[in-house]
Structure 1
């Protein structure tokens, strides 16, 4: 299946045009890709490892946060379940009044330690199977104390988050970061859950998370009839949410030397408001 292969156009990056964005946050421009450093977050110890069953398969998932809190499924970037997606999930679990975050291991234990490995893993992903994993994860949270469950994700996980709004009827809300599903996987105009999406104006993953893809997503969400927001951050590029010390090291190793805590905090604030509105209400 060719779903989301547009992400692989990173080797022929083209600069995105400037536009009139919805938010006003500055980042510096980013450029070429290089392999990331190896590192892990000490926060990994905070997670409980569980196994989730669906169809004829079982996969691992990592859970953190208060039981009986609203749940949020947190979806990985193309690297796999690494330190950064765990950092995001831990941050989500600590938001006031708190969420229960669950990371499904879509790669079944594999993690890309450089760009070539990450690309290979993403190439080999069964996208429709990943959507089934997401649905099983949502239902696991609902069966284990979370009355409402949202989905969020980053890059590859962002695209899968939007796909879940279309294909997973149990999802109550979605927040996607810099990723749009291919038409083969899901049509956002058929979304059934509220969607908030975040993009960097200078993101140059053409057709996947650049400004053209963001604007196309916005038009499709308008047609869906669901509540939606699309936020574009001026001067920011791809993966601007990866603001942990290890995440910053990896971005710099990839040629992305921008750091903008204000952009990250603004996006997290919008995330918190969106998920709170749809997951905390009766």
Structure 2
């Protein structure tokens, strides 16, 4: 009986030592995870903004950075979720704030007011977008030679306008974004590759606006990709779109197939833009 007890104790001790050694050998890898934090910043116009920065600390080298520009609802959980998804793919992602103080809402009337507060002065939107871009460039995990941007709805217009303005972006992807602009794209200015992901059933972006966008790109000799998804309404990538559409009596809706396919198409696009797979 005594010998059995001693043997059991010996095995238990050996197991404990093994665990200790494993913790020493693999502890740092086990602790590696997606890291996220809010970073306050200020635009050149003095507006106080807040961002959500996410990256995978298991990656020890610099990696491409991607800006995420929110829908007209503001910097909400959806924009943060997309930033987190990008971080899990191996990017450093920064969800930026275009309204100030991280304001967001679920009321269309309030969203419209906040959006027009930015749109009414073109310099305001670019000033705030540039502030977000500079903040992303300043993060130690980011390869500043490989920066892109994605935007949703209102944010889709913002990233397209960033490309039109010639900001130093390798590529931009617009999800169910507003396409109209007062400053047409020109090949001599645009540095970014452009991807537009559009819902064929989008009643908020009229067919005439789609035609005008394509004509703009052709006239400016600007290369672009335009992908349409059948039966997809405005807001097709957001699972909350059905509820928000009903509550606000607006024609938006979620489309799971378009959501999945557009995310895949975005990944293929950025893999090509950055010359590496994520």
TM-score tier after normalising by the smaller chain length: 0.7 to 0.9
SS at structure 1 position matched to 2:56: coil
Give the equivalent residue in structure 2 for 1:253: 247
| The one of 50, 70, 74 aligned to 1:76 | 70
TM-score under structure 2 normalisation?
0.74
Question: Separation in 2 of the partners of 1:257 and 1:197?
Answer: 18
Separation of aligned partners in 2, 1:83 and 1:159: 20
Query: CA–CA distance in 2 between the matches of 1:140 and 1:259?
Result: 31
2 CA distance for matches of 1:50 and 1:89?
14
Measure how far apart 1:220 and its partner are.
2.0
Q: Is 2:50–2:97's contact at 8 Å kept on the other side of the alignment? A: yes
The alpha carbon displacement at 1:280 in A equals: 4.2
Comparing 52-61 with 155-164, which one deviates more in the overlay? 52-61
Output the CA distance in 1 between the equivalents of 2:147 and 2:75: 20
CA contact (8 A) 2:68 2:150 kept: yes
Match of 1:223 among 219, 225, 228: 219
Aligned equivalent of 1:85: 79
CA contact 1:49–1:62 (8 Å) conserved in 2? yes
Task: Work out the CA distance in 1 between the residues paired with 2:245 and 2:36.
Answer: 25
Higher helix share: 2
1:104 to partner: Cα distance: 1.4
More relative contact order, 1 or 2 (CA 8 Å, 6+ apart): 1
Residues 147-184 of structure 1: CA deviation (Å, up to 9, x unaligned): 21101101110011100001143111000122235433
Instruction: State the distance in 2 between where 1:213 and 1:223 align.
Output: 15
Q: How far is the alpha carbon of 1:52 from its aligned partner?
A: 2.9
Offset of residue 248 of structure 1? 4.4
Provide the alpha-carbon RMSD of the alignment.
2.5
CA drift of 1:46 comes to: 6.0
Matches within 5 A, 1:96-111: 98-109=90-101, 110-111=103-104
Q: Deviations over 1:83-138 (max 9, x none)?
A: 2212222222222xx21111111111221231111111112224422212222322
In structure 1, the partner of 2:15 is none
Residue aligning to 1:239: 235
Corresponding residue of 1:201: 200
Aligned length: 230
Check whether the contact 2:201–2:233 (CA below 8 A) recurs between aligned residues: yes
Shift of 1:254: 4.4
Q: Return 5+ residue gaps in structure 2 as ranges.
A: 1-33
TM-score (norm 1): 0.73
Change (3 A) 1:54 1:107: closer
Structure 1: stretches of 5+ with no match in the other structure: 1-44
- Work out whether 1:269 is the aligned partner of 2:264: yes
- 1:62 is aligned to 52
Structure 2: distance between partners of 1:46 and 1:116: 34
